[in-house]
Amino acid sequence: MPTTIASRITIEPGKRGGKPCVRGLRITVWDVLGWLGAGMNEKQILEEHPDLEKADFPAIYQFAAEAGRRANFD
C-alpha cells in the first residue's frame, strides 16, 4: 500500500526504487525537479507528460523543501 505525502506524493517500495512519485505515477519528484533545473518550465513539462497536473507542482515543491530541511549537509 502506498504512503501518501504532501497530498500528491506517494512512495511505494516496488515502484521506482521507493523514490517519491507523483500520485502513484512512475514520475518521481526528482524527475520533475531535474527537468525544471534543466530549463524546462511547468507548461513544457505538462505538454510532454500529460499524466501530470498543474496542481502537482506545489506538492513537488513542498516535498523538496521539506526534504531539504531534513537533509544534513555537514
pLDDT at 70: 83
CA 69, CA 64: separation in Å to the nearest integer? 9
pTM across the whole model: 0.86
CA 32, CA 36: separation in Å to the nearest integer? 6
pLDDT at 74: 56
pLDDT at 7: 78
pLDDT at 16: 95
Residue partners of 3: CB distance under 8 A and separation at least 6: 10, 11, 12
pLDDT tens, per residue, the chain with 74 residues: 666 666 799 999 999 999 999 999 999 999 999 999 999 999 999 999 999 999 999 999 999 999 888 877 65
Fold of 3-59: Arc Repressor Mutant, subunit A (1.10.10)
